[in-house]
Amino acid sequence: MAANQEATRSWWESSRPRYELFISAIVTQEASGGDLEAAKRRAAAIEGLPELDISEEVELLAARLFAGTALPDNAKTDALHIAVVTVHGINYLLTWNCKHIANAVIRTKIEGVCRAAGYEPPVICTPLELMEE
């Protein structure tokens, strides 16, 4: 986990300026959890980023993703993360959730569900995969 945190800090410093970042209310909520000092640093990092809305269209795609990818019951929020980015046409979904999102087996299913619903899925990757250096 420490290596992932360091990679994230490195990505934020070196690669982040090359991208236009967006968040959702889900990201804001998740960032506020855990250790209070760490939550404050996360909140400061995402402060001012444009927030993508969670529309009915997003909710419908999330339900399709949840049903069509065999995600476990505790992964409904993960389906929402994917749906928000997909519906809004965002190019990349950057995550360390390799269990339910940045997972090669599940990613193929995610892409299939998104395309079947008429959307082009985002590239789902970790910060390490999106570094250009």
Has residue 82 got a pLDDT over 90? yes
Mean pLDDT score, 91-118: 94
- CB atoms inside a 10 Å sphere around CB 123: 14
Question: Is residue 126 helix, strand or coil?
Answer: coil
Mean pLDDT score, 76-95: 96
pLDDT at 2: 79
Has residue 4 got a pLDDT over 90? no
The domain defined by 2-130 carries CATH number 3.40.50: yes
Question: Which is higher by pLDDT, 120 or 131?
Answer: 120
CB of 116 closer than 8 Å to CB of 63: no
pTM: 0.90
Amino acid identity at 53:
D
Extract the tokens encoding 59: 């909710």
Sign of CA dihedral 7, 13, 19, 20: positive
Confidence label for 133 from pLDDT (cuts 50, 70 and 90): low
pLDDT at 71: 82
Has residue 120 got a pLDDT over 80? yes
Dump the DSSP string for 13-81.
HHTGGGS---EEHHHHHHHTSSSHHHHHHHHHHHTT--EE---HHHHHHHHHHHHHTT--GGGHHHHHH
CB of 22 closer than 8 Å to CB of 51: yes
